[in-house]
Amino acid sequence: MSKQALLVVDMQQGLFAGPRHDADGLLARLNALAARLRAKGMPVIFIQHCGPEGDDLHPSQPGHAIHQALAVKASDRIITKASCDAFLGTTLADVLAELETAS
């Protein structure tokens, strides 16, 4: 049986700069879901976009940070990406394979 994981993709400060429909509700639901999965021993993985220089999501910018309302725990993994594909040029496939074999 394969192990389940929660992937939280592109939930960064810079993507919440303007008004967003139910942003607070979304963040609360993500925190609640992550807490339930962690309590069951399931991993939580944050996928964080790294934009080019001059972009709000560039690592040197405040917008790059994972949204401050999200409860990121020390046991969570953070994987950075530079394209819209969370697998392209990242360690995501390796991390998921590692988690599957550990189950």
- The residues spanned by each domain of the chain are 6-17+25-102
pLDDT score for 17: 84
Structural tokens at position 53? 């220089």
Task: Answer yes or no: CATH 2.40.50.140 is held by domain 6-17+25-102.
Answer: no
Pairing of strands 6-9, 77-81: unpaired
**23-73 confidence digits (pLDDT tens):** 999 999 999 999 999 999 999 999 999 999 999 999 999 999 999 999 999
**68-92 confidence digits (pLDDT tens):** 999 999 999 999 999 999 999 999 9
Closest to 91 in 3D by CA, of 99, 81, 76: 81
pTM of the model: 0.92
